[in-house]
A = this chain, B = another copy of it.
Amino acid sequence: MDLSRDDLFSWPISHWMEGDGPESDVVISSRVRLARNVTGIPFPHLMDDGQAERIISMVSQALAGGPADEPGPTADLHLVRLSDLGSLQRAVLVEKHLISPLHAAGARGAAVIRGDQAVSIMINEEDHLRIQVLFPALQLLEALAVCTAVDDALERHIDYAWDQRLGYLTSCPTNTGTGMRASVMLHLPGLVITNQARRLAGLINKLSCVVRGMYGEGTEAAGNVFQVSNQITMGQTEEEILSGLQSLTARLIVEERSARRSLLEEMKPQLEDRVWRAWGIMTTARVLSSREAMQLISDLKLGVALGLIDRVGASLVNSIMFMIRPAYLQILAGQELSPDERDIRRAELVRQHLSAGTA
């Protein structure tokens, strides 16, 4: 893959959207990221352009240092400077969760992205390095393992800022220690329909975790998709933090499944109606707003998980969730689009993919 070409932008499916893996009826994806900084260079908001450039070439050399042809943690990793990308291309990387909005907005950033889009490294975002692994379904430990392997490979060439007492030093103190933030993206339509989402948000906060919409802080939970992540990064090992998030996730899965079961028992016709209408509208609508699309995708996804509809697979539904985002739609159209034009293109794209995915 050559990141300067269009592949990354025109191909919507990232590995993590495939939807395969444990508990994929509720858990869309698992993410682990490690914040790392290079010793002796100021944090990004304080460094100059030359220092920013040094970080990029340091990572670039570290990646080139590995045995190129052998499989290993740094195989198939490709570096791209954000300044080489147009604003729509950067926005697509944000939509795919490969980089953050903050990163996309900066002029001195670069991103390292693995061919399957499961691994990415943001360079010169809030920290010098943010190594991130995004896996389908519930695979937090697996994601941590890959993340750590990439981290170790880089550490052989880069001297990280680390303190005996504090651990890894980070630009924002809330990340200091392990530098780790782990999160799961959950589809919780059962809890929303049965009005339990608010109650569980309270529980999540009590357990030192935080719940957000699909695109992180300040975004709404469109399509009943929630991100739950750890808040504590210090005083616990990575494994302990993950284990806390794991058991919270397990509890949410149990509650979500139980809500779905009771919906099935108490209002099956209404549930089937909801699921099938979603299919009906998605395969016929000519104008589709992003908000409505997310709600329909949520209904369809729920139907697939419950076996109420078999015309489409879970992974296609997951990837449609990302295809309908504004930047991707515009990249696909090859031009900027007004919101009205996007609604028409969105409807077109959803129809195409669902009729192609029809059994």
Residues of the B chain whose Cβ atoms lie less than 8 Å from the Cβ of A280: 277, 279-285
Integer count of this chain's copies in the complex: 2
- Residue from B277, B282, B286, B344 within 8 A of A285 (CB atoms): B277
Please name all residues of chain B whose beta carbon is closer than 8 Å to the beta carbon of A282 when the two chains form the complex.
280
Q: Would you call A113 an interface residue if the criterion is a C-beta within 8 Å of the partner chain's C-beta atoms?
A: no
Q: Does A270 contact B (CB under 8 A)?
A: yes
Majority DSSP secondary structure for residues of A touching B = helix
Give the CA-CA distance A281 to B273 in the complex, in Å. 9
Is A131 an interface residue when CB atoms closer than 8 A count as contact?
no
1/0 contact trace for A320-345 toward B, CB 8 Å? 00000000000000000000000010
- Is A200 interfacial (CB-CB < 8 Å)? no
Measured between beta carbons, the chain B residues less than 8 angstroms from A272 are 286
Report Cα–Cα, A84/B175, bound state, in Å.
84
A269 within 8 A of B: yes
- Given A277-B280, A279-B284, A280-B281, 20 more contacts at CB 8 Å? A269-B287, A269-B344, A270-B286, A270-B287, A272-B286, A273-B285, A273-B286, A273-B287, A273-B347, A276-B285, A276-B286, A277-B281, A277-B284, A277-B285, A279-B280, A280-B280, A280-B282, A280-B283, A280-B285, A281-B281
Chain A residues with CB under 8 Å of chain B are 269-270, 272-273, 276-277, 279-287, 344, 347
CB-defined A-B contacts under 8 Å, sample of 24: A269-B286, A269-B287, A269-B344, A270-B286, A270-B287, A272-B286, A273-B285, A273-B286, A273-B287, A273-B347, A276-B285, A276-B286, A277-B280, A277-B281, A277-B284, A277-B285, A277-B286, A279-B280, A279-B284, A280-B282, A280-B283, A280-B284, A280-B285, A281-B281
Q: Which 8 A-B pairs have the closest CB atoms?
A: A280-B284, A280-B280, A273-B286, A276-B284, A273-B287, A272-B286, A280-B281, A269-B286
